[in-house]
Amino acid sequence: MKVVETGTTNRGEDAADGGGHGSTEETPSATASRTGTTGGGAGPLSGVRVLELGSLIAGPFAGRQMADFGAEVIKVESPNRPDPMREWGRARVNDHTLWWSVQSRGKKCVTMDLKAPRGRELFLELCKEADVILENFRPGTMEKLGLGPDELWKINPGLIITRVSGYGQTGPEASKPGYASVAEARSGLRHLNGYPDQPPPRTGISLGDSLGSLYALQGILLALYWRDARGGTGQVVDVSLVEACFSLLESTVPDYAATGIVPGPSGSGLKGIAPSNIFRSSDGKWVVIAANQDSVFVRLAAAMGVPGLPKDPKYCNHAQRGHHQEELESLIADWAVQYSAGELVRLLDEHGVPNSTVSTVEDIFEDPQLKARDMLVEMPDEELGTVVQPGIVPKLTRSAGRIGWNGPLTHGSHNADVYQGLLNLTEEELQSARSEGAI
């Protein structure tokens, strides 16, 4: 089994994607980091082939993770319309965005026009060799191209077709475009963010897209297991960005059904959960102190030099601390501001109280724990120099993932490798497909 990722969509018309935004066992050579001639590697997904049609984040993020764990990912872009991710991101080196190198790492990139007859033929040939299709078009797009599930299962009944969209493949609003910000709002997730009586802010990343991709990856792995270990067949994995966000609402749904409670934003903490909030240090930094569990609150009281505090009826258990949350957090704030962030962290650590400074990315680059866990991986690149990649998650002890190479900068850089190496096209056939505009 092997993974092929294709991205031929126009984001404004067909894509479900929104905007916004592991440890390695070995570091590849500079040549491998660009050309990808090493293949998919020997990770736990080695041998999986997925045809992924998608751009930007919702979908391709799942493809990136599969590539990290050994899948062969072939990303197909339109010959005339590259993935917009090539232009996204804050930082550029030699006129190339670094975000592209992260999102497309370990993938091979080819071009294909699904609307061209020859392009469609090549896609169907790839489908015969594939295990999974991963796409994030607007629902109905594949069907309009004559490439819906029923057509694809005729040539490969074991094909797992993973579809990521704003609202899912069914329902009265299935055809509406959906982006991360829309999904976060529609799901109820955004209503819970921010401070009371203020506009609900978004996080500084495209959370909804990434959540959708994580569920897409989960669905793919479940479907592969059912097919290969349980004797199942191909099926559709239907992922909605709205539903991915909705799934995180914890007790909000049963609480409302039973009591009619409509929770709102609670600022930097959670209402009734105390103490668990941010507190300012003497040097102006914010430190999270999470001591709402009874036994941990005892340790915090000792750190504060008031070991009798847990015996106070107002703070004697979780429920009472929740009822007197503002008063308790005011006490902790008055204590915390006497110490610098470093002093506060050391004191809390000494007493076993969960805590952390609120890290900037600058802080992350100096974080000894993240360094020890290989969460900052330096990847060589002959055009970009060294690209620092976020590491692989999760860590597997016996079949660890690895980053094969940085995302290929050249549009269609692996056309010959895939079309001649995988589909056995001759040089003449390859040139003919190119002249027809199929690739």
User: pLDDT tens for residues 261-288?
Assistant: 999 999 999 889 999 999 999 999 999 9
For residue 263, which phi and psi values (nearest 5 degrees)?
Answer: -70, 150
CATH architecture of 276-363: 2-Layer Sandwich (3.30)
**Can you give the pLDDT at residue 420?**
95
Calculate what percentage of the chain has a pLDDT beyond 70: 91
Interval 220-243: pLDDT, tens: 999 999 999 999 999 999 999 999
pLDDT band at 13; cut points 50, 70, 90: very low
pLDDT at 25 over 60: no
Burial of 196 (0-12, 13-18, 19+ CB in 10 A): exposed
Of 2-16, 280-294, 323-337, minimum mean pLDDT range: 2-16
Mean pLDDT of the 50-63 span: 92
pLDDT exceeds cutoff 70 at 218: yes
The answer to whether residue 387 scores a pLDDT higher than 60 is: yes
pLDDT given at position 51: 86
Res. 68: pLDDT tops 80: yes
**Between residues 218 and 14, which one has the greater pLDDT?**
218
Q: Which residues are catalytic?
A: 209
Query: How open is the CA angle 77-78-82, to the nearest 5 degrees?
Result: 65
Is-contact 391 22, C-beta < 8 A? yes
d(CA 158, CA 232): 8
- State the pLDDT at residue 91: 84
> Could you tell me how many residues make up the chain?
439
Over the stretch 355-385, which tens digit does the pLDDT of each residue have? Answer: 999 999 999 999 999 999 999 999 999 889 9
Straight-line distance from the first to the last Cα atom of the chain, in angstroms, rounded to the nearest whole number: 24
**Cβ distance 104 to 408 under 8 Å?**
yes
Local confidence band at 139 (pLDDT 50, 70, 90 cut-offs) = very high
Confidence label for 41 from pLDDT (cuts 50, 70 and 90): low
Can you tell me the distance from the alpha carbon of 439 to that of 436, in angstroms, rounded to the nearest whole number?
8
Sequence ranges of the domains in the chain: 4-247+377-435, 276-363
The closest alpha carbon to 81, from 380, 423, 411, belongs to 411
> What CATH code is assigned to 4-247+377-435?
3.40.50.10540
Q: Quickly list DSSP for 82-142.
A: --GGGG-SS-EETTEEHHHHHHTTTEEEEE--TTSHHHHHHHHHHHHT-SEEEE-BPTTHH
